Amino acid sequence: MSKNNIDEIIKAVERYKSGRTSQNAEAKRLGVSRRAFQDWVRKYETFGAEGFEHTGNRKYSSELKASAVQDYLSGEGSIAAICKKYGISSRTQLQNWIKMYNGHKELRPSRGRGSDIYMTKGRTTTYEERVEIVSYCIERGNDYTAAIEKYGVSYQQIYSWVRKYSEKGAEGLVDKRGKRKAESEMTEVEKLRAENRMLEARNKRLETECAVLKKLEEIERRWR
């Protein structure tokens, strides 16, 4: 976001806060949705004008994430109210934490840019390991950090495997370099088994996301 754009947003929010204009009018003036403008108002109310100067990722402790999620699920407030209470810069962040919580995933502390996970060295893997690692990652909504920490592979490796699987399916995970002829000579049955495992991971992730979205919509309706 450029300095000029930030200044325009701050001026628009201040006009709205002073009662000189409406959310709809300022959203239209800036060419954004009313929901986006509401997010900026909440950010201004929580962090002040300085909140728009932070272009990097904010860090949140696992305790704060858990408290925010539990407050929301116990009916302590709407998404917007909980974000304001805990100083969370985006409602999308809170919604993602709720999905993770309901999907029984660990709410880890947020990592800033340059985190040491990107420095993890790669290692040699078998085809079966790559299938397992990519399945694990996909099942958790492409959570590269979790896969790196669990399997001890590098970010570059897991990113490459997920991309190759997206483009070529299980065949993309076969290492055809050098002496690895055994992998390139896999039977159709073995390839189908790998594909089935990936599909199961995708289906499990989608089922979890659908269940969580339904729950979120139900809770949000109570606050309208």
Examine residue 224 and state whether it is found in any structural domain, yes or no: no
Domain shared by 188 and 163, yes or no:
yes
Residues of the chain with pLDDT under 50: 1-2, 4, 55, 113-115, 178-181, 183-184
Produce one character per residue of 84-106: b if its CB has 16 or more CB atoms within 10 Å, e if not. Answer: eebebbebebbbebbbbbbbebe
Examine residue 223 and state whether it is found in any structural domain, yes or no: no
Number of independent structural domains in the chain: 3
Across the chain, how many H-helices and E-strands are there? 11, 0
Q: Residues 192-201: pLDDT tens digits?
A: 777 777 777 7
Contacts of 183 (CB under 8 A, 6+ apart): 126, 127, 174, 175, 176
Contacts of 77 (CB under 8 A, 6+ apart): 71, 85, 223
**CB-hemisphere CA count at 13 Å for 7?**
3
Q: Residues 56-78: pLDDT tens digits?
A: 556 788 888 888 888 888 888 88
Contacts of 147 (CB under 8 A, 6+ apart): 133, 136, 137, 140, 153, 158
Examine residue 218 and state whether it is found in any structural domain, yes or no: no
Domain shared by 103 and 134, yes or no:
no
Cα–Cα distances (Å) from 57 to 69, 113, 183, in that order, read 19, 7, 40
Domain shared by 163 and 193, yes or no:
yes
- How confident is the model at residue 22, as a pLDDT? 93
Give 126's DSSP letter: -
Give me the phi and psi of 127, to 5 degrees please.
-60, -45
Give 97's DSSP letter: H
- How confident is the model at residue 25, as a pLDDT? 92
Percentage of the chain exceeding pLDDT 70: 71
By the 10 Å C-beta count (0-12 exposed, 13-18 middle, 19+ buried), 160 is classed as middle
- How confident is the model at residue 1, as a pLDDT? 47
Domain shared by 120 and 207, yes or no:
yes
Domain shared by 124 and 156, yes or no:
yes
Q: Which of 79, 112, 145 is the last residue of a domain?
A: 112
Q: Are the C-beta atoms of 75 and 219 separated by less than 8 Å?
A: yes
Enclosing domain of residue 29: 3-52
DSSP string, 134-168: HHHHHHTTS-HHHHHHHH---HHHHHHHHHHHHHH
Indicate the residue type of 30: L
